[in-house]
Amino acid sequence: MLSSKFLDLIRCGLLWEAGWELGNLLLDLLPSFVKCKITFSSVFTLLHHVSLILYLPILHALKTSIADDIALSVFFLAGFVGPIGLLNFVKNNCYDLDSDSDVKGYFTLQLIQCFVYVTVRGPVWWFLAYRMVTETYGGPNFSVTCVGVAMMTFVNLVIIDFCRIGLIKALTRTR
């Protein structure tokens, strides 16, 4: 069992994330939708934000038998975004693709990025989704959990597809 301090930090992190998602939704996305400037990216971001806001009932679930699973999954799902973002920055800005050694480094970083995203957004997510749906079955948060799981599953599948596209671009750029 994880310590209660770690679970408290996860609760605070969930609130922080939900607040950021709501702020971005209201300040950035809503104005673009009102102006009818709708793109795939804005619809995807909207689904991502709404699915994470729907997870506020998870705060209650952190007091149940799946508290450790949720805490670790939140850590994995959100905790790798920063380091992967840094890797992505390095990959896209620090390599000269005319050099063989830089091509190897570029492609290696792309493979690491894809491996982490596919692992976390694939098996780790499926395990968490299964646990959330089965643990909340029959409870007051079951329907919200099902909608959230469905939306976040779609978001994760799109992110995994972005990895596929990234690999294709990396192969194309490094040939």
CB-based contacts of 44, cutoff 8 Å, min separation 6: 155, 158
Contact 124, 73 (CB under 8 A): yes
- Would you tell me how many other CB atoms lie within 10 Å of the CB of residue 76? 16
Query: Of 129, 126, 152, 117, whose CA–CA distance to 47 is shortest?
Result: 152
Give how far Cα 55 sits from Cα of 60, 97, 100, 121, 145, Å: 10, 42, 45, 16, 7
Percent of residues, the chain, with pLDDT higher than 90: 1
CB 32 within 8 A of CB 24: no
pLDDT in tens, 12-59: 766 677 677 777 778 888 888 888 888 887 887 777 777 766 666 665
Could you report the per-residue pLDDT of 127-165, keeping only the tens digit for each?
888 887 887 778 777 887 788 788 888 888 888 898 898
Q: Domain range spanning residue 96?
A: 4-173
Q: Which residue has the higher pLDDT, 156 or 76?
A: 156
In whole angstroms, give the CA distance from residue 97 to residue 106. Answer: 8
DSSP codes, 35-95: TT---HHHHHHHHHHHHHHTTTTHHHHTTSTTHHHHHHHHHHHHHTHHHHHHHHHHHHHS-
Domain count, the chain: 1
Q: What is the pLDDT of residue 59?
A: 59
Check residue 61 and give its pLDDT. Answer: 58
Residue 100 — very low, low, confident or very high, per pLDDT cuts 50/70/90? confident
Q: Can you say whether the dihedral through the CA atoms of 168, 79, 124, 151 is positive or negative?
A: negative
**pLDDT surpasses 60 at 62:** no
Output DSSP code: residue 151: H
Query: Is the per-residue pLDDT at 65 higher than 70?
Result: no
Most distant pair of Cα atoms in the chain: their distance: 59
